[in-house]
Chains A and B, each alone.
Chain A
Amino acid sequence: MGSITSSFLEELAETINALNHESNSNFFNPSIAILSALLLTGSASFSSGFKTPLLILCLSPLLMLLARSRIYSWLKIVAITALWAITVSTPLIFTSSGSLANIALGPVELRISLEGFYLMATFTVRVVAAAAVFTAFIFILGWRRMVDGLRGLKMPEVATSLISLSIIYIPYLIREMVKMLSAREVRIVRKTGFRELWYVLASVVGDLMLRSYEHAWRLEKAIKARSINPNSPKAGGCRVWINDLILLILTFCITMLGFLSG
């Protein structure tokens, strides 16, 4: 179990790191892209019907194709999100009120609510559309350019610095966790039960918190030692191209449509 956990954590660290470092796409201006991502994700999440989320859902692969980003990895995330949304919303079919249809399955009779079915479908579409569009922008921009975008939107420097450091240090701390797990695993010399193993795995959490604190303390000193000007370094300016204008217009149109259709 420890090995599976370690492998999972290693993969997780690598994925976060890949998002952090591998995107060099300059297809969109980061500030406009992040603004669009926020507006479209918001529109998809808070819409009540099918139209807006479906439109956003269709737009997402188009963006991925245009930016020549890794569509296969993105599709996997969308598929997992869809599966999760369907799983958690399925009970709505059986628990919602409204017009009912009875289905007999041998001795068992299922009462299906058509309204529940509608609720489940809208929930799934909303979740999938929101996840699809936001992850599309993350894939296109990469997390570093996302932070640049947030800086461009004049988000407080403290917040962007914290996001930026978190993005860098999440993989680092996950790797620390893997090392701690391995150090514990190597000392388990007999077959152990799940409960015993669970104690060992759980003991990592306290250590990790302690190490994170110590690391953060020293990191704060390291940043302070090299901060000569009270104003932190700013992100370089980015130009606005026709792609950005089209994206911006499209975003506003979809957001307005979502707003007008309730």
Chain B
Amino acid sequence: MLRVENVYFSYPGGVEVLKGASLTANRGEVVAVIGPNGSGKTTLLMIAAGLLEPSRGLVLLDGKPLRKQLPEARRRIGLVFQDPDDQLFNPTVYDEIAFTLRQILPTKEDVDGRVLEVAGRFKLENVLDKPPYKLSIGEKRRVTLASILAYDPEVLLLDEPTANLSSRYVEEIEEIVLDAKKSYKTVTVASHDVEFIARVADRIYILNNGTTVGGLNAKSILADESLLALADMKPPLVLQALRLLKINLEGNPLTIKDLLETVEKPGTSQ
């Protein structure tokens, strides 16, 4: 379990980005962090990954301070950056996926085997020899995920995983996140994509003015316009449409799947 407790952080120049932000992510759940641009979502994820040291506050991994567990704990935490170009630095896709594996697997054969397995899962077999910069944004995003999931971290931190992606790729990312959840991983997603969050998140934190609000059930937060306004967001389209049509459905469906399930349920009240 990952816990960020009351962290403060300032970048050089004195801008205090985080002023007492907290976050708890448990095994087998997807936690979303939402907030306006520049609210410090990326900084919070970097702190949670042990890449930035907060001026105050604590980061705990399984109840112990993360700082004291580094660098070994990095194997347990995988961070996928918002911009794939910031993360991909190897000459080929193969090298990118193999980067961490070479540090933990004993032989080249083991590395080869694992790279091919992961490349197959992420449909990257045909681009293994290509330089990452020549790939499309969707492929780049898959490479960033493959390079992290290749070493099977227990905690997955995803920074805007659906940014600039077409709906087909968003579905793929969604599948990966839900798979990680099923395999009992701790997943934290920072995102602006309200539809994506509605489909994957169990709990949501809102980051506003450097502090976190919420940490409650995703449905209750996504249905609350005043809370979403703190993150410069609006409720999911399904909910907006139902409200415009003045239709009250039991359980506030947030996604099309939820809506169909609610409508098909016998005795649905309107």
| A222 and B103 within 8 A (CB) | no
Residues in B whose Cβ lies below 8 Å from that of A171: 133
- Stretch with Cβ within 8 A of B (4 or more), from A84-92, A224-232, A242-250: A224-232
In the assembled complex, which residues on chain A have CB atoms less than 8 Å from the CB atom of B51? 221, 224-225
Cα separation A224 to B46 with both chains bound (whole Å): 11
A17 touches B86 (CB 8 A): no
Contact check, A222 vs B81: say whether CB atoms are below 8 A apart.
yes
The residues of A that contact B148 with a CB separation of less than 8 Å are 226
Q: Provide the bound-state CA to CA distance between A141 and B195, in Å.
A: 49
**B106 sits at the interface (CB 8 A):** no
**A201: B residues at CB distance < 8 A:** none
Question: Is B24 on the interface with A (CB-CB < 8 A)?
Answer: no
Nearest B residue to A142 via CB reads B91
Question: A226 touches which one: B85, B108, B147 (CB < 8 A)?
Answer: B147
Closest B residue to A175 by beta carbon equals: B133
Q: Are B89 and A233 in contact (CB under 8 A)?
A: no
Which residues in chain A, 161-186, are within 8 Å of chain B measured between CB atoms?
164-165, 167-169, 171-172, 175
Q: Does B102 contact A (CB under 8 A)?
A: yes
Given contacts A218-B86, A222-B89, contact A227 B131 (CB under 8 A): no
Residues of chain B within 8 A of A206, CB atoms compared: none
Q: Given the complex, which residues of A lie within 8 Å of B77, measured CB to CB?
A: 225
Q: Assess whether A229 is in contact with B103, with CB atoms less than 8 Å apart.
A: yes
- The residue in chain B whose Cβ has the minimal distance to the Cβ of A176 is B85
* Complex alpha-carbon distance, A51 and B57, angstroms: 70
Query: In the complex, what distance in Å separates the CA atom of A256 from the CA atom of B78?
Result: 53
* Contact (A222, B108) CB under 8 Å given A17-B131, A228-B74: no
Q: Check A21 against B131 for contact (C-beta < 8 Å).
A: yes
Q: Are A225 and B79 also in contact (CB < 8 A) when A233-B99, A233-B102 are?
A: yes
Contact A227 B71 (CB under 8 A): yes
Kindly report which residue of chain B lies nearest to residue A222, judged by CB atoms: B87
Which residues of chain B (87-106) have a CB below 8 Å from chain A?
A: 87, 89-92, 98-100, 102-104
**A171 to B108 alpha-carbon distance, docked (Å):** 29
Is B72 interfacial (CB-CB < 8 Å)?
yes
A218 CB to nearest B CB, Å:
4
Chain A contact patch, size range: 20 to 34
Q: A219 at interface (Cβ–Cβ under 8 A)?
A: yes
Question: How near does chain B come to A216, taking the closest CB pair, in angstroms?
Answer: 10
Q: Is the CB of A223 within 8 A of B74?
A: no
Beta-carbon nearest neighbor of B103 in chain A: A229
A193 interface residue per 8 A CB criterion: no
**Chain A, residue nearest B96 (CB):** A226
Task: Write the B240-268 contact mask toward A (1 if CB under 8 angstroms, else 0).
Answer: 00000000000000000000000000000
Query: Looking at the complex, which one of B52, B71, B83, B98 makes contact with A228 (CB distance below 8 Å)?
Result: B71
Are A228 and B81 in contact, CB atoms less than 8 angstroms apart? no
B18 contacts the other chain (Cβ, under 8 Å)? no
Q: Nearest-CB distance from B41 to chain A (Å)? A: 14
Q: Which residue of A lies closest to B111 (CB)?
A: A233
Q: Are A172 and B86 in contact (CB under 8 A)?
A: no
Which of B52, B83, B90 has the most C-beta atoms of chain A within 10 angstroms of its own C-beta? B90
B70 → chain A closest CB, angstroms: 9
Closest to B92 in A: A21
Closest residue of chain A to B49 (Cβ to Cβ) is: A225
State whether A219 touches B103 (Cβ < 8 A). no
Known: A218-B86, A228-B100. A20 touches B91 (CB 8 A): yes
* Complex Cα–Cα for A167 and B98 (A): 19
Quick check: A228 and B72 within 8 Å, CB to CB? Answer: yes
Query: CB-nearest residue of chain A relative to B42?
Result: A218
Instruction: Please indicate the chain B residues that have their CB under 8 angstroms from the CB of A151 in the complex.
Output: none
Q: Is A98 an interface residue (CB 8 A)?
A: no
The answer to the question of B75 belonging to the interface, with a C-beta cut-off of 8 Å to chain A, is: yes
> Which residues of chain A have a CB within 8 Å of any CB of chain B?
17, 20-21, 144, 164-165, 167-169, 171-172, 175, 215, 218-219, 221-234, 236
- A-B contacts, 25 of them at CB < 8 A, read A21-B91, A168-B91, A168-B131, A171-B133, A172-B133, A175-B133, A215-B85, A219-B89, A221-B52, A222-B79, A222-B81, A222-B86, A222-B89, A225-B77, A226-B99, A226-B100, A227-B71, A227-B100, A227-B103, A229-B104, A230-B71, A232-B103, A233-B98, A233-B102, A234-B102
List the 3 shortest-distance A-B pairs measured between CB atoms, nearest first: A233-B102, A218-B86, A229-B103
